[in-house]
Structure 1
Amino acid sequence: MDAKRTARRVLHDYGETYAHQAGIRLADTPAPLYQVLVLCVLCAAPIRTETAVAAARELFAAGLRTPRAMVRATWQDRVDALGRAHYRRYDESTATALGDGAQLVLDRWHGDLRALRREAGGDVERLRGLLREVPRIGPTAADIFCRETQGVWPELRPFFDTRARRSASTLGLPRSPGALAGLVAPRDLVRLADGLVRAGRAPGAVERLRAG
């Protein structure tokens, strides 16, 4: 199948971003950027991504949309929100990590991750390293943050992490970020990157997409 046609099918069938699914209206402003960070912390645990997304929605519905609100909430408030999303086994440790991470964002970047971006000075690896100072954010979670925010931070584009590139390869698409970016309009980069990850996880998705 033609690569651009395959990419269009990925967008059509699997192209909802994880940020959108979590109810985040992404913009280059403090609150939504922090909400993406929360989503990444939740995804860092060995738990289903759908559960992590549901947990993010519960936290945001409880008003925990900013680092200051997260810090002001009690530990039990955070545990209860995670529990409502069936975020089990890791709810208590994650509630602690969320509180500690919010305090770090307040102390280090005054609650605004755009200050982290400025500190990175356009260096993507530096940015990933700064993200990893946040509790629970490791290499994979840092990649998720970069993948989701490339739409508002141009220096990250095109960002296709290992999981997205692996899925692209199984679909017969190019593996290089530049070549993948050439298959879609710039506004669809995040959707393609997330769509490739989703397709790689969905049973039978690769076979259906390859079959046309």
Structure 2
Amino acid sequence: MSDERAVARALLRCQPHTYAEEAGIRLADRPAALYQLLVLATLLSTRIRARVAVAAAGELFAAGWRTPQRMEAAAWQDRVDALGRGHYRRYDERTATMLGTGARLCLDRWRGDLRRLHTAAHGDLAGLRRLLTAFPGIGPTGADIFLREVQTVWPDIRPFADRRALAGAARLGLPQSAADLAALVGPADVGRLTSALVRVALGEESAAEVTRTATGGR
């Protein structure tokens, strides 16, 4: 266990930020922040590099579209252009449409506040996934991305590790359950750890380099 903790600590030193933090989201259990995370999960769900999705989210937020009201009010072409500035070009038109439709759904069904979605699921992960996948562009992968990141501010679903996080854990020789991974770090760092593990799974972080860091370069 001590070696596993050393690897987990080394990984957090190598990759200290979640995807939400990289996108400029100040994650909190508040309507705007939760909506921004939904937007990021939508962008990360497509077959595109994570860094491109993060950059595109940053462009949308820099344009001022940090709430469903503002996202829906934005012109479709303006959304396309913002995605293009983030180099999110392969899926820009379809995604611009989905963001507008998703913003309207958020307003109509949840009155712009995804805390209502959280409450409606009564802490049930399957229920949360079902409600999240009602949003256009959010499939099972997107729902898992949202849940992985939101566990920082929704402690009732913590610990949560999706299949990509577990794949990263396997590459590092770390446990294959969310509970065992959580035991390697403090509660506040579970979301950061799982996000960092995804980077290992996607090849954004070298498992060998993390291991070298954990063993002091031996």
TM-score (norm 2): 0.95
* SS of alignment partner, residue 152 of structure 2: coil
* SS of alignment partner, residue 87 of structure 1: coil
Q: Which amino acid aligns with 1:118?
A: T
| Runs of 5+ consecutive residues of structure 1 not aligned to the other structure | none
Deviation by residue 1:22-61 (Cα, 9 ceiling, x = unmatched): 0000000000000000001111111111000000000000
Residue 85 (1) aligns with residue 114 (2)? no
Contact 1:70 1:102 (C-alpha < 8 Å) held by counterparts: yes
Shift of 1:203: 5.9
- RMSD of the TM alignment (CA)? 1.1
Cα distance in 2, alignment partners of residues 129 and 15 from structure 1: 30
Cα distance in 2, alignment partners of residues 45 and 170 from structure 1: 24
Q: Which amino acid aligns with 2:131?
A: L
* SS of alignment partner, residue 160 of structure 2: coil
Question: In structure 1, what is the equivalent of residue 131 of structure 2?
Answer: 130
Question: Runs of 4+ in structure 1 displaced over 6 angstroms?
Answer: none
Q: Which amino acid aligns with 2:42?
A: V
Question: In structure 2, what is the equivalent of residue 182 of structure 1?
Answer: 183
TM-score (norm 1): 0.97
Cα distance in 1, alignment partners of residues 163 and 190 from structure 2: 15
Cα distance in 2, alignment partners of residues 151 and 209 from structure 1: 23
Question: In structure 1, what is the equivalent of residue 27 of structure 2?
Answer: 26
Contact 2:171 2:200 (C-alpha < 8 Å) held by counterparts: no
Q: Which amino acid aligns with 1:16?
A: H
Identity %: 57
Question: In structure 1, what is the equivalent of residue 71 of structure 2?
Answer: 70
Q: How many residues align?
A: 212
Question: In structure 2, what is the equivalent of residue 117 of structure 1?
Answer: 118
Contact 1:14 1:199 (C-alpha < 8 Å) held by counterparts: no
Contact 1:199 1:206 (C-alpha < 8 Å) held by counterparts: yes
| Runs of 5+ consecutive residues of structure 2 not aligned to the other structure | none
Equivalent residues in 2 for 1:102-113, closer than 5 Å? 102-113=103-114
Q: Which amino acid aligns with 2:29?
A: D
Cα distance in 2, alignment partners of residues 40 and 108 from structure 1: 19
* SS of alignment partner, residue 2 of structure 1: helix
